[in-house]
Amino acid sequence: MIKDFPNWMKTSLQESLGTSVDTVVYPSYKTTGDLSVAVRNFSAWLLDQVKTDNNVDIVLLGHSMGGIVGAETILFFDGRRHYDNPLRNASIIGMLAYDTPFYSVNEGFLSSTASSLVEKIDRYLPSATMATATATAATAMEGKGTTRSLRLTGSQQTATKSVATASKSSSNWGLFAGAVGAIGVAAVGAYMARDKISSTASDAYDHLEFVSALMDRGRCHKRMEALLEVSDVFVRCFYIKIPPTPGNNGQQHRTFIALPPDETMYAFIPVITTAESEVAAHTSIFDPRKNDYYYTVGSDSASLIAEMVARHGRKKQHTPQQQQQQADLDLD
């Protein structure tokens, strides 16, 4: 059973691309304060990774709010590439997001206010699951005693190292809101990130400013519109989808994220799950025991990244006019 998503991607891509692939997990970061702080910190970290070898292609991967951080990072570098590109010869060629609420959280599941969001998530954390969450907190504090983050789950298979049993590092990745990162291909540095969860829901109000980025619907739409217009960057978002209960004809599919408008739906890929709740589905997307389509998500992710690399390789070989013609073909 494959539990380590980053290593799975690395192995799969090295085999399919026949080139060097590396994965680097971004250290935990605070999901508090202004979102721009997280973006600046991640951007600086990304630049540091390409200092020694900047002739790399990069694909960002982000779970939940990590996808927002990744999107803002892409826009940050895109706004500077024409006059002072800090990435130099490195290129961000795409991003895969996993249940990222680009258009905010589904109103059918959570209130549009950050306070209500925290309160309702708290209700989804039954006391019976606190043991696993406590193990998460213990590991999250290693080496970073001041890190505090909204804990969205206590139900993962092995969220982190427990007191009695150490789990593989893979089980940390992508199980929580706030994971962001990247995969690099072709002589590469691939960068992924995870947010280690450390605090209880009662501490969540410290994180309202960070979460409030989801409450500005206008900003959400503008961000996604700008992201999809960035040239030479391929973006897709997997999102969980819970089917109606059998026999309940009036029930609709349930999602954690607010669904995109028709004009950008092409960038979103549904992942059918039998999880009992939106939060359970959201936090177990990388858990093969709880997500029936885990292996499909992984295989599709590797295929999409390979496609990004192929598209970028074609464009580098073409003249500007040929590049535009190829871009038009890729959009068809």
- The confidence band for 163, taking pLDDT boundaries of 50, 70 and 90, is very low
Which letter does DSSP use for residue 266 in this model? Answer: G
In the chain, where the domains are located: 5-331
Compute CA distances 297 → 125, 236, 271, 291, whole Å: 26, 12, 7, 10
What pLDDT sits at residue 136?
Answer: 29
What pLDDT sits at residue 117?
Answer: 45
Structure tokens at 259: 């669904």
Distance, in Å, from the CA atom of 140 to the CA atom of 146, rounded to the nearest integer, reads 10
Distance, in Å, from the CA atom of 228 to the CA atom of 156, rounded to the nearest integer, reads 32
Question: Is-contact 301 8, C-beta < 8 A?
Answer: no
Query: What's the mean pLDDT in 111-130?
Result: 42
Task: Count Cα atoms within 13 angstroms, Cβ side, for 225.
Answer: 9
* 14-57 confidence digits (pLDDT tens): 898 888 888 888 876 655 567 888 888 888 888 888 887 777 88
Distance, in Å, from the CA atom of 54 to the CA atom of 59, rounded to the nearest integer, reads 14
- The confidence band for 191, taking pLDDT boundaries of 50, 70 and 90, is very low
- The confidence band for 223, taking pLDDT boundaries of 50, 70 and 90, is very high
* 294-312 confidence digits (pLDDT tens): 999 999 999 999 999 988 8
Alpha helix stretches (DSSP H) within 113-216:
114-123, 130-140, 208-211
